[in-house]
Homo-oligomer: A and B are copies of this chain.
């Protein structure tokens, strides 16, 4: 078994309203910052042991499907790196 960290990033699908991001963008503009757009996402770093990177990725993928993301409104991606 090897120690991996799987990073799952969960974003709202294109077209789903994100009032929190909109509020953050306006707050930055009120502070004098110029920006074209702001998107927010949730990131989960998951430490797990697995026989291969592929296996770690499959398990993180299943975690996203079953709990971390809501497939109706979210897209997600998974990246796996080996842990020291």
Contact = CB atoms under 8 A, between A and B. Distances in A.
A49 interface: yes
B46 A38 contact: yes
Contact of A47 (B37, B62, B68): B37
Work out how many copies of this chain go into the complex.
2
Given A40-B43, A46-B37, A49-B36, A24 B68 contact: yes
Interface residues on A, range: 20 to 34
Nearest to A39: B45
Interface string A24-63: 1001100101111111111111111100000000010011
Interface of A: 3, 9, 21, 24, 27-28, 31, 33-49, 59, 62-63, 66-68
16 contacts: A3-B36, A21-B44, A24-B67, A27-B67, A28-B63, A28-B67, A33-B59, A33-B62, A34-B48, A34-B49, A35-B48, A36-B47, A37-B46, A38-B47, A40-B44, A42-B43
